[in-house]
Amino acid sequence: MADTNTDTYTPPKVWTFDSENGGQFANINRPVSGPTHEQVLPRGKHPFQLYSLATPNGVKVTVMLEELLALGFSAAEYDAWLIRINKGDQFGSGFVEVNPNSKIPALMDYSGSKPIRVFESGSILMYLAEKFGVLLPTEPAARAECLSWLFWQMGSAPYLGGGFGHFYAYAPTKMEYPINRFAMEVKRELDVLDKRLAESRYVGGDDYSIADIAIWPWYGGLVLGQLYDAAEFLAVHEYTHVLRWANDIAKRPAVIRGRMVNRAMGPLASQLHERHDASDFATQTQDKLAPASE
Ligand SMILES: N[C@@H](CCC(=O)N[C@@H](CS)C(=O)NCC(=O)O)C(=O)O
């Protein structure tokens, strides 16, 4: 196994893959793409088939679909299937056909004459907003502001998740250099967001939009203490406007429902492994759910 001490590691001339050097992700990480096994994806009766898990990236899409249904768009009905990324479901042949990048969330739209695949959470949010004509302003200035913040999230969150979260919560040893580097960057990002939310109710402006839906599961989750157990470490109480916004959005019924869909960790009462009908939320009982295994 490679030396994980950043003070003494000297990179070799050419990097080689060490399958043991992946920490808790060692069993799924590899430096090539494509399927590892044949696996046909299940398909339900609704126009949209979502293959996902309730990580922050996954929650964006289930919140969006629940918001669309709450707005009265019955054509947004969906089946949500659980993809257990710790078991390697994202490398099944069916999943790779929907997302060649092997990451959740991935969506199939069967509502038209030809099936359409959509991957990347930001792309899925835009696709759905444009299809239903809501949660993304059409007036050019408002639209530009909303999309700027949507893409701000797509570019920024990897520092929070892949950078800070990885080294603070998941890396096999705690290393000061990367934790410092990414804590600094995440605090800078929180400050950007705090200043924006000091001047407007929602991230894009006066109205709730796909920018809020994208940003809330990451930065809202962080300040609400739902991510990496890092609220105290990052002194999130300093970001009062982000906290106001995060608490506000957390109360939305569609957000409460969306957070439950494809959740396979945490309290059993918060988990709805698959969603096929609005009544699934009401009929969810503990004995219907498999024990949390993540
Ligand atoms: N930029 C992508 C990121 C998706 C992503 O990183 N998904 C993670 C879970 S949050 C995943 O599927 N990881 C599985 C893997 O890396 O093998 C998006 O926003 O959709």
Domains of the chain, each with CATH number or no CATH: 140-255 (1.20.1050.10)
The predicted model scores a pTM of 0.94
**Best residue for ligand 1 mutational test, from 53, 103, 170, 262 (most atoms within 8 Å of Cβ):** 103
**Best residue for ligand 1 mutational test, from 57, 101, 123, 265 (most atoms within 8 Å of Cβ):** 57
Residue 64 has pLDDT above 90, yes or no: yes
Rg (CA), the chain: 20
Residue 233 has pLDDT above 50, yes or no: yes
Q: What pLDDT, on a 0 to 100 scale, did the predictor assign at position 6?
A: 53
Residue 294 has pLDDT above 50, yes or no: no
pLDDT band at 285 (very low <50, low <70, confident <90, very high): low
Residue 286 has pLDDT above 80, yes or no: no
Q: What pLDDT, on a 0 to 100 scale, did the predictor assign at position 284?
A: 64
What is the 3-state secondary structure of 246-294?
Answer: HHHHHCCHHHHHHHHECCCCCCHHHCECCECCCHHHHHCCHHHCCCCCC
Q: What pLDDT, on a 0 to 100 scale, did the predictor assign at position 288?
A: 47
CB contact at 8 A, 134 and 128: no
CB contact at 8 A, 262 and 82: yes
Range with lowest mean pLDDT among 22-31, 105-114, 130-139, 184-193: 22-31
Q: What pLDDT, on a 0 to 100 scale, did the predictor assign at position 289?
A: 46
| Gap between the Cα atoms of 244 and 75, Å rounded | 33
Mean pLDDT of the chain: 93
Q: How far is the CA of 74 from the centre of ligand 1 (A)?
A: 28
In the sheet that holds 116-119, the strands lie side by side as: 78-82, 48-52, 106-109, 116-119
Is the beta carbon of 88 within 6 A of some atom in ligand 1?
no
Q: What pLDDT, on a 0 to 100 scale, did the predictor assign at position 21?
A: 73
Q: What pLDDT, on a 0 to 100 scale, did the predictor assign at position 26?
A: 75
Is the beta carbon of 52 within 6 A of some atom in ligand 1?
no
CB contact at 8 A, 272 and 283: no
Is the beta carbon of 28 within 6 A of some atom in ligand 1?
yes
